[in-house]
């Protein structure tokens, strides 16, 4: 199981890019953290989620 934003999901083996494609996140408005480190945007396709991973997708909203 992979924990994403607090939710346990059965998606080990998928890449971060594959996970994001199935969601409504706007890829231009997010940062992705995996096990305490930021995942570089260029590595979303090659970063495969493993059992026990903890991931957080931070999605920015406008205003400042």
Partner 1 sequence: MFPTKEQWYRALCERHGEDLQEKFTSATVAICGLGGLGSNIAVALARAGVGRLVLIDFDKVDITNLHRQQYKAEQIGRYKTEALAENLKEISPYTEIVLHTVKLTEENTVDLLEDSDIICEAFDNAQCKAQLVNTVLEKMPHKYIVAASGMAGLFSANTIKTRKVTNKFYLCGDEISDVRDGLGLVSSRVMLCASHQAHMVLRILANEFEV
The Cα–Cα gap between 56 and 7 comes to 10
The Cα–Cα gap between 64 and 53 comes to 33
Q: Binder to partner 1 among 40, 46, 50, 52 (CB under 8 A)?
A: 40
CB of 25 to partner 1, least distance (A): 10
Q: Which is nearer to partner 1, 7 or 62 (CB)?
A: 62
The Cα–Cα gap between 22 and 8 comes to 16
Local structure of 7: helix, strand or coil: strand
38 binds partner 1 (CB under 8 A): yes
Which positions touch partner 1 (CB under 8 A)? 26, 28-31, 33, 36-38, 40-41, 56, 58-64
């Amino acid at each position: 199981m992979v924990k994403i934003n607090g939710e346990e999901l059965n998606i080990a083996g998928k890449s971060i890019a594959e996970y994001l494609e199935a969601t409504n996140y706007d890829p231009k408005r997010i940062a992705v953290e995996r096990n305490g480190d930021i995942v570089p945007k260029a590595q979303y396709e090659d970063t495969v989620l493993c059992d026990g991973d903890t991931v957080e997708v931070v999605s920015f909203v406008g205003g400042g």
